[in-house]
Amino acid sequence: MKWAVAILVFVSTATAFSGMNRSPHAESNLYGRVRAPDVAREVRRTFDEILARLNRLKRKHPQLAAIERATITESQLAYEHGRVRCQSKAQPCSFTKNACRLTINIMHVAKREEADLHAAESQLFELADGTYLDVYYGVLAETTATGRRFERAASSIISTSLENLRERLASQTGASRL
């Protein structure tokens, strides 16, 4: 009886690692093992790319005076300069001179239902393994010409970097935008 269990475990393990259960979109390395994209590494790379590009704009935009204080976690890049006060969704935010708030959230979620619980304005990218990237970003600045220029420049950098992220993941797994 012990031999039957051992053989069953061996056959089950051999089947699992033989490649029969591979996703058609997953990459294989030299040894034939499936390698999924490292989503966390790509997200961090994207945050670093955004931060570096914003840092290069520091001289043009006073809102970026302290961009080196931006915080990066595994799923968020956040930066605030000056005082930004948003009391409610019904009222516009108030800003001190050259104040801004920049937030980028990228969540790797397992199910679409989980992604649907996040911000209504977020973008959703489906990965080939059936998981999703839920991406939200917001740039707030005072409603002056300087503030609007900053918002356009920052939004352009962020959207370009997010598109680069989507393309890198698509080249690895066949990601698509929903």
Measured CA to CA, the distance from residue 74 to residue 87 in angstroms comes to: 28
Q: Which amino acid is at 125?
A: F
Neighbours of 16 (CB within 10 A): 10
At 177 the pLDDT is: 52
87 and 25 belong to one structural domain? no
Which is more confidently placed, 111 or 142? 142
3 and 56 belong to one structural domain? no
Query: How many domains are there within the chain?
Result: 2
75 and 98 belong to one structural domain? yes
65-77, pLDDT tens digit by residue?
999 999 999 999 9
98 and 173 belong to one structural domain? yes
29 and 106 belong to one structural domain? no
110-141, pLDDT tens digit by residue?
777 776 676 567 788 888 778 888 899 999 99
51 and 84 belong to one structural domain? yes
**pTM score above 0.85:** no
Domain that holds residue 15: 1-35
104 and 75 belong to one structural domain? yes
